Structure 1
Amino acid sequence: MAMSAPLALDDWGGTGPVLHLAHANGFPPGTYRKLIELLKPRYHVVTVRNRWLVPGTDPLEVQTWDDVAGDLIQALEAQGLEGVVGVGHSLGGVATLLAAARQPRLFRAVVALDPVLLTGRLLLAVRGLSLLGIRGWIPPASQARRRRERWSSREEAAEKLRGKPLFQRFDPECFQDYIASGLTSTPEGDFRLTIPRAWEARMFETSPRDAWRSLRSLSVPTLMVRGGDSDVFFPEALERVRRTVPGVRTEELPNTAHLFPLEQPEECGRRILSFLESTHTR
């Protein structure tokens, strides 16, 4: 379902062509501060303030990730932006790919970082669970719905979260940026998740209508990067990307997982800038 009004763009500054960064589910844009700072000398970075960052929005309004792509299109068009560099991670990577396939004039190039593109039995299973209406009952959606949402302080949150497997490979600065931006103070004096767990769960229990069909019409210069140890963007999906997307460039980042933009932001930034330089995206 489309938003009644365009979502706002947050301006991170920088010099050069506009670059939009779309973040992963559960990780607000501020978590990517270190990567953003690496991009700013060459690009003017903006991020959409997505629905889950807008108080009072209903997660059930999103039916598929195509709605997220539509929000991005609407936000860019509302600002009169065209020829934007689209960079996206995970969910954000898929939304950016879908938006570029639908409205190529809005993008001069796309970089998708470990996008959630499923294949084979896993794709069939996800579709089946969605048709049965029980996808929200299993991980990762069920885990997101049960996760702890409030802490007495940022320090307590950092202490509890640091040892979780999800964060063990994080760059130390990126972890601190998550604690700073991923938690929001409440009127009661404690801290809650900036992205409510109901929203995080909703994005885990939905997916694109047909990502592979959309990707066949992608016409802008595109780079897709897979974390070498990713348990989300599998080698089979990377191979299917090569067969599906005309002229796509694909790379793997060794010894990294799905969250590699937050594990190795410097190397991630270098890969992005090198690709954009090779396409003369300045």
Structure 2
Amino acid sequence: MTHLIEGIHFDKFSRHGEHVHFYGANGFPTKVYRSFINLLAENYTVSSLHNRATWPNQHPPKKLNWSIYADDLIRYLDSYIKHPVIGIGHSMGATTTLLAAIKRPDLFCKLVLIEPAMSSPVVSKLLPLIPFQLAKRIQPIKYTVKKPAQWRSEQEFYNDCRQRRVFKRISDENLAVLAKHSLYQELEQLNTLKFPKIWEARNYASAPNIYKQFAKNTLPVVAIRGKPSAYFSNKSWEKWQQIATNTIFQEDLNFGHLFPLESPQKCAALIDNGLTLLKNK
């Protein structure tokens, strides 16, 4: 079992106010969210466990299940945080925060789930049955496997991202933060993705459906979404509203699945508003 070390496996960004843990999306190292996290850190004690894909010397298991990330979070909170936290997660980080909260609700006081990633009930049952070599023909797995893993410079990576449709709503300033924290360089070698694309692709190939988990959850929740997308559909949003209890639903359709990166300020404002509504409920 890996011993968790600050600066390598997790970061602490502030040490005042109520405890918040932030868990990021598939393919995105923690510090990519620095602009968003800085806003949270103004009012909260914020920490963030790095996804195990970015830990040193890690390789994806043959059978990957997102519960592994929930278990990592449980171990981190159990070992390093002595108070129930507000669990804030984005995309895969939201989904795995929910999974952790169902296993160990005592570690959390409330949840903020931003665009929780999932597959449909049918697809979630089929994906584990499909060999990864076949799954690689399906988007977004296909694109992820084929995309570059190395760039000659941070600027080249930035230019590549700037041309991609998925990043079109991210400002130049926030995209520069993303580029800076997405790569590492060893000696004179090329700049390489901190979040290896094989992990990212395998995560897409093992995305669960979490309708049952929405219903099982006993903690108060702030649910946040942007514009419907392949990663979080309008159907999932509507289903969530039908089955969840003690949940405040917030949305801003001017932004997409990468809402916390596209507009850190507006996403943080929705969180504050949602938490206030929960308190007054």
User: Residue 102 of structure 1 aligns to which amino acid in structure 2?
Assistant: K
SS of 2:266's equivalent in the other structure is helix
User: Residue 158 of structure 1 aligns to which amino acid in structure 2?
Assistant: Y
Q: Deviations over 1:76-100 (max 9, x none)?
A: 1011433101111100010011111
Q: Which residue is equivalent to 2:210?
A: 211
CA distance in 2, matches of 1:19, 1:90: 17
* Aligned: 1:51 with 2:52: yes
TM-score (norm 2): 0.91
Q: Which residue is equivalent to 2:126?
A: 128
CA distance in 1, matches of 2:15, 2:166: 30
- C-alpha contact (below 8 Å) 1:98/1:215 kept by paired residues: no
- C-alpha contact (below 8 Å) 2:150/2:190 kept by paired residues: yes
Q: Which residue is equivalent to 2:65?
A: 64
Change in Cα spacing, 1:269 to 1:203, as seen in structure 2 (3 Å) is: same
User: Residue 265 of structure 2 aligns to which amino acid in structure 1?
Assistant: E
CA distance in 2, matches of 1:172, 1:216: 39
Residue correspondence of structure 1 range 67-106 to structure 2 within 5 A:
67-106=68-107
- Report the Cα offset of residue 15 of structure 1: 2.0
TM-score (norm 1): 0.91
CA distance in 2, matches of 1:31, 1:80: 23
Q: Which moved more, 1:88-97 or 1:135-144?
A: 135-144
Q: Deviations over 1:241-276 (max 9, x none)?
A: 112221222122122111111111110000111222
Unpaired runs of at least 5, structure 2: none
CA distance in 2, matches of 1:62, 1:165: 31
- C-alpha contact (below 8 Å) 1:14/1:42 kept by paired residues: no
Q: Which residue is equivalent to 1:235?
A: 234
Figure out how many residues of one structure are paired with residues of the other and give that number.
275
- Report the Cα offset of residue 174 of structure 1: 1.9
SS of 2:111's equivalent in the other structure is strand
Q: Deviations over 1:41-99 (max 9, x none)?
A: 21011110221111211112662111111111111101143310111110001001111
Q: Deviations over 1:151-207 (max 9, x none)?
A: 111111112221111211113222111111001112233211111111111111112
**Once the two structures are aligned, what percentage of the paired residues are identical?**
29
Please provide the CA RMSD for this pair.
1.9
CA distance in 2, matches of 1:174, 1:103: 34
CA distance in 1, matches of 2:264, 2:81: 30
CA distance in 2, matches of 1:250, 1:256: 16
Q: Which moved more, 1:195-204 or 1:58-67?
A: 58-67
Unpaired runs of at least 5, structure 1: none
Q: Which moved more, 1:224-233 or 1:196-205?
A: 224-233
Change in Cα spacing, 1:169 to 1:72, as seen in structure 2 (3 Å) is: same
CA distance in 2, matches of 1:30, 1:158: 16
* Aligned: 1:258 with 2:260: no
Q: Which residue is equivalent to 2:248?
A: 249
* Aligned: 1:269 with 2:271: no
User: Residue 51 of structure 2 aligns to which amino acid in structure 1?
Assistant: N
Q: Which residue is equivalent to 1:157?
A: 157
